[in-house]
Structure 1
Amino acid sequence: MVVLITGGAKSGKSTFAEKYAAKLGTKGIYIATSPVFDEELQERVRLHQQRREMSAIGWETIEESYELNAVLRDLAGNKELWETGTVVLVDCLILWLSNWLLRYEQDRAEERIDEQLTLLEQTLCNFPGTLLLVSNEVGYGIVPDYPLGRNFRDLAGIMNQRMAAVSDRVFLVTAGIPIELKSREFTI
């Protein structure tokens, strides 16, 4: 089962994802995609780690800023994980996307990110266990006044749509309240 959990900054997405993981499984693998390059990020990471340490589920952390597809494929091939009730949580897709965008900003970024998203879709479609993906909704605010910001906003929206399409469940978290969207989807 693949679950996408999205919402705004500080909406409660990660907290909900961790609690949901504890409900779904007995062990957890937490894939952290954020590079830690300043003190403020280091503090955020520390708070996330502290919260996971107090969780009902035991967490193993894998830090990977770029090669998310390779990590997920490796985990998918480990049959023992799925027999022991392990849940995989990726936090967060937006940071993973921004890592790739900054790496390829001047070198066919959209094309290269599309390739990464296609690989991720394929990985998700074949994932044998429970996988929770945390992402952000970034398009609710003002239009960024610089090209990189607009490109990021657009790619984030495209990524979230594509990941939602291959997810079994999609939650929107606002003000700490999760609402499951996919079961309420209006189809034409």
Structure 2
Amino acid sequence: MKIIRTSSPDEAVLVWLQAELKSKRFQNDLQKSLDKYGLSAQIITNPDLSDNSENSLRLKILKDYRDWFEDNIYAYDWKLVELEVDDVKALRYIDYSYWSELSDDTHLVGVAAKNVERGKVVFDVSNAHFFDIAKAVEAGTQFAPIVVLEREQGLEIAEGHARATGYLLADSPTEQLQAIVGSPIS
């Protein structure tokens, strides 16, 4: 893992929302939260990270539709990093039934990627999106950084599970996967 620069909790929230604004799976829930608070997507697509009010609104939106995310993001020290393939293999998924099943209850991205490669299908959910991500990685597409939290058992993905899995399915990634990593402030 190579540290590129320091980051911030506000940037972590922003890249999370930017990724999910483009996600077929999460964009509708995100849009509902924006509508609920009378906000336009511009708070995500044209952000001002120096505006504390905007940053607070983005966090409020995230916690509104991602109500499982209970961490205090300000209790972490954030860095933007580049991950090597072995770093990505060692990343852990959150404790969620789909990811647990896909990774044979190891929560390891590397195990899940091998299972996807072997054709393992969980809960009748197609694996096509993982292979689409792998093709995009092979073509040199630069994705938004994933968001990762340092936990006792290792680095755990908060956002970017599919991108990390698809990255490992790529034959020869042309770019390293970037992540914004939060480490607990002691």
TM-score of the pair, normalised by structure 2: 0.31
Question: Which one scores higher on RCO, CA 8 angstroms, separation ≥ 6?
Answer: 1
Q: TM-score, normalised by structure 1?
A: 0.30
